[in-house]
Amino acid sequence: MATENDGLNGVAMLFGRLLTNSASGFSDVRTYWSPEAVKAATGYDLEVPGMIHLINSGATTMDATGAMTIDGKPAMKHFWDITESDVQAALKATTWCPANNGYFRGGGFSSRFFTRGGMPITLARVNRIHGLGPVLQIAEGYTYAPPKEVHDILDKRTDPGWPTTWFVPRLTGKGAFKDVYSVMANWGANHGAFNYGHIGADLITLASILRIPVCMHNVDEDKIYRPSAWAAFGMDAEGADYRACANFGPAYK
């Protein structure tokens, strides 16, 4: 379920759910934290080149706790592989805080957890551009877990009653992925959907089938497959993607 009636992020959640057969997480792409800012706020030297605070007002799938494991590593499992012990582990990793009355005037509770680090995830978002139509953004990376005392300080800068996933995108050194700040600066909205694993190549192929151009990604070129007809639209892969999608038109209207 997409928060705040964000149907476009709901579409990205649907794509991820169908491609992975596991849950999709919905989050605000809320804050960029540089190593310098973390040091100033907490005194801690960050081991990564920056991180993005993925957090949502009240709910994110509890699969994203990372409490489930595959080969001893945190994971979000296929729905048919989730056991009762997995369910209990995810519940144990989640607390239920009184809802922020500024957001939820009727009260209730918010789920709160702190995602385990080292889990490969892909963040995606569908945006709708006036005069162009839908475009897809993709960022592959990993979850990161700073020390609990550092997390607690940073978490209070937003809302300590909400579920947090610290995300470190894989950088390429150029364009939107030259650094972590640039990833967030180029993100098209304040929401994103994330799924377990690096599924960017699958998302790109799916988008080509649906005639949705991809405006931003950090997928290795040798992993990308688009229909061979895309080659007729030029040698610049991303520009050719836009031209091919415009030429062939949407698969569904």
Q: Over the range 43-68, which residues count as b (16 or more CB within 10 Å of their CB) and which as e?
A: ebebebebbbbbbbbbebbbbbbbbb
Supply 41's token pair: 């706020």
Cα 24 to Cα 12, 155, 195, 233, 250: the distances in Å are 9, 22, 5, 33, 25
Q: Which two tokens stand for residue 152?
A: 């607690």
Burial of 238 (0-12, 13-18, 19+ CB in 10 A): middle
Exposure of 24 by Cβ count < 10 A (0-12 exposed, 13-18 middle, 19+ buried)? Answer: buried
149 in active site: no
Please name the amino acid found at residue 80: W
Q: For this structure, is 81 an active site residue?
A: no
**What secondary structure letter does DSSP report for 243?**
H
CA dist 146 and 72 (Å) reads 20
Which one is catalytic: 28, 63, 140, 241?
28
Q: Which residues are annotated as catalytic?
A: 4, 28
